[in-house]
């Protein structure tokens, strides 16, 4: 009789152990979307960085020459995401995000001059190193595709807004 009791107890323990494992695994599966988002952002950033050194060309979308919005349009396209082609239209894509909450993959928008709300330039956050070192990639009209710190005096002064595309 004791033998059957222990055998039955062993089955119950095994059943509950399997149930707990299944529960744990299913709760981990819920995080796959975050992992997929991170993989997508990594792909976009890696693609954008592959263009570093490409010269600037207004309206350009190739390695021979590229403008700021073309850089982002191409980089997102590699990840299977079609965003608008112009910086003005990209400025309406996604949801608003605070300057102080920037994350890799966020789009950052600039004006041609300090104090103007008119978007004329776009980049994408590539790394948040600390609270005063947020790197973004863009196609500079003088330097081509480069990464800079958005906290530099120049870029901070012409910053207009940021959007989170995901």
Residue 137 tokens, joined: 């990639």
Distance from C-alpha of 160 to C-alpha of 42, rounded to nearest angstrom: 25
Query: Is 12 annotated in the active site?
Result: no
Q: Can 28 be counted among the known catalytic residues? A: no
Distances (CA, A) of 51 to 3, 29, 97: 71, 35, 26
DSSP class per residue in 17-46: HHHHHHHHHHHHHTTHHHHHHHHHHHHHHH
Please name which of 66, 79, 30, 29 lies closest in space to residue 146, comparing C-alpha atoms.
66
Radius of gyration of the chain (CA): 24
DSSP label of 56: B
The rounded distance, in Å, linking the Cα atoms of 63 and 50 is 10
Q: Which one, of 36, 51, 50, lies nearest residue 143 by Cα?
A: 51
Catalytic residue among 10, 12, 28, 121, which? 121
The active-site residue, picked from 10, 12, 28, 138, is 138
Question: Which residue numbers are catalytic?
Answer: 68, 121, 138
């Amino acid at each position: 009789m004791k033998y059957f009791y222990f055998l039955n107890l062993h089955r119950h323990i095994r059943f509950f152990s399997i149930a707990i494992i299944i529960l744990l695994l299913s709760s981990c599966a819920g995080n796959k979307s975050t992992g997929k988002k991170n993989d997508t952002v990594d792909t976009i950033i890696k693609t954008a960085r592959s263009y570093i050194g490409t010269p600037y060309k207004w309206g350009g979308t190739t390695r021979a020459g590229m403008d700021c919005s073309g850089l982002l349009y191409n980089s997102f396209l590699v990840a299977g995401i079609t965003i608008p082609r112009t910086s003005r239209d990209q400025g309406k894509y996604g949801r608003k995000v605070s300057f102080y909450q920037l994350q890799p993959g966020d789009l950052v928008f600039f004006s041609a001059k300090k104090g103007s709300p008119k978007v004329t330039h776009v980049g994408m956050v590539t790394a948040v190193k600390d609270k005063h070192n947020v790197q973004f990639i863009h196609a500079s009209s003088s330097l081509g595709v480069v990464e800079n710190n958005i906290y530099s005096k120049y870029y901070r002064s012409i910053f207009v807004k940021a959007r989170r595309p995901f």
